[in-house]
Amino acid sequence: MHRKWTKASKLSIVAVAALAATPSFPTGLQDLHLNFQPRTEDEAARIADVTAAPEDFSVPQRFEDLPAGAATVRLRADADAFSQPSGNLEFEQELDFKVGNGLFKKLWVSSPASTLASDGLGPLYNARSCQRCHIKDGRGHTPNGPQDSAVSMFLRVSIPGGAGQSEIADYIATQPEPNYGGQMQDLALPGHPAEYRLDITYTEVPVELLDGETVTLRAPTYTAADLGYGPLHPQAMLSPRVAPQMIGLGLLEAIPVGDILAKADPEDVDGDGISGRPNIVWSTEFDAPMMGRFGYKAGMPTILEQSAGAFAGDIGISSPLFPAAHGDCTELQVDCVNAPHGDGDDRVFEIDQQGMDLVAFYSRNLGVPERRDADDPQVLRGKQVFHQTGCALCHTPAYVTHRMEDRPEHSFQLIWPYTDLLLHDMGEGLADHRPEARATGREWRTPPLWGVGMTQQVSGHTQFLHDGRARSLLEAILWHGGEAQAARDTVVSMPKLDRDALIRFLESL
């Protein structure tokens, strides 16, 4: 079969060569977390064809209604739409999924306790379970008021400087804040003060659109109030986070790193204004540099490491990867460090490797629901607007995952996540001015868009972006700046019919 050399495929050699020529880029970056079979030339050609940009927008592309390939799950009309196992799991795997779900929902308690399998909470924490942040496996939200106990939002915190003179230091841009560690915990066990209370104020920013429509954005200001452990370091950098949706993570983990790097263009060689680049992080799991895929700044390389990091930072639970029994507490938080913990029984850690593997399996296999209305004329027009506006330059529609014998549910699937998993400068409006590994204070990973139109159904709100400031998909678009400024301005100046079609397309994902 003759291979179609698209713009992206022609640039892949240039982009990877440019990255390799950069002194800070590790050559030979590999998928250390996957056991995969290399693609044949015929497979590569077929993949190039099936993932190429459409030429005809009057009809859907083949298999577009199955965004996760054979792992796609049936559409549901309730809030459990994101909580179904991948559609191609074997019966025995569904049992592992359900056990992992139980651990994901488990409410942890303080030590010592009679429930030895569930003790070790805190002493400082943001939630008592994974599910308390990722409610219904969907998006978190901003506070609805001072008494809102269901908020899944916190502040990351750090100060400038790496980890010292070591190989690892090359992949770390900041270090923990001396008093408060790597993130702020707003809950604590009895006898321990919480670290802070999150205060948010908003300033209204009107944006005039073509045809006389006005959209009001809300620009947030974040304050860490009622500090429990002394003042913050003068150079402390705070960055808000709401919990992201959980669907399709195992498929994102299975995308070949080479396919992601083929989209990278850090020097903007092609002159299109898009300069995506990978975040390179130090993997605790593999003790080596890897490409980051997960988190708002792509700061974690694998789902297992992301999950273990969340157990430590969000709940204060130790694991083989992050063995500190006191979670994110610093050496200056003496009472926290010396508090009773759940280590030392048969598990050794508060959650053992078997438990972590089950949670990671559950997280990898939360199924992506099938597409809705892919053949609707307005949706198809919106898809054309999406491509013509330049949105697809970062929100890459389709990939084919690695071929893997040990993960057949994720193996060689044509998927439609609408992300390049790369970092992009999104402008001053979205900047948090806090680096994370190689990501700067203005850079964010392109978020996947699959399932974005089901946010209201699953999570009961329509809040988007890393801090939930956008109350609609249109607001989220209007916050785009930096590399996305041209696309954003095109949306502002396009006819309302086209803008409505664009939103309708996004809602169909």
pLDDT tens per residue across span 2-17: 333 333 333 333 333 3
Secondary structure E strands in 144-301: 153-160, 174-175, 187-188, 197-208, 214-225, 237-242, 280-283, 288-291
Q: What is the mean pLDDT of residues 229-236?
A: 97
CB 366 within 8 A of CB 246: yes
| Per-residue pLDDT at 345 exceeds 90 | no
Q: What is the pLDDT of residue 113?
A: 87
- For the record, the structure tokens of 423 come out as 């970092």
Q: What is the pLDDT of residue 148?
A: 57
Higher pLDDT, 26 or 139: 139
Q: What is the pLDDT of residue 188?
A: 97
What digits encode the pLDDT tens for the residues 90-105? 999 999 999 999 999 9
Q: What is the pLDDT of residue 162?
A: 66
Which of 317, 297, 299 is closest to 104 using CA atoms? 317
Q: What is the pLDDT of residue 14?
A: 35
Q: What is the mean pLDDT of residues 20-24?
A: 38
- For tokens 């909580």, the residue is 83
What residue type is assigned to position 447 of the chain? P
What residue type is assigned to position 296 of the chain? Y
pLDDT-derived band of residue 27, with 50, 70 and 90 as boundaries?
A: low
For residue 106, count CB atoms less than 10 angstroms from its CB and return exposed for 0-12, middle for 13-18, buried for 19 or more: buried
Q: What is the pLDDT of residue 171?
A: 82
What is the average pLDDT value for the chain, to the nearest integer? 91
| Per-residue pLDDT at 165 exceeds 60 | no
- For the record, the structure tokens of 285 come out as 């799991």
Report the percent of the chain where pLDDT is more than 90. Answer: 86
Q: What is the pLDDT of residue 172?
A: 82
Helix, strand or coil, per DSSP, at residue 470: strand
Q: What is the pLDDT of residue 8?
A: 36
| Per-residue pLDDT at 168 exceeds 60 | yes
Q: What is the pLDDT of residue 147?
A: 53
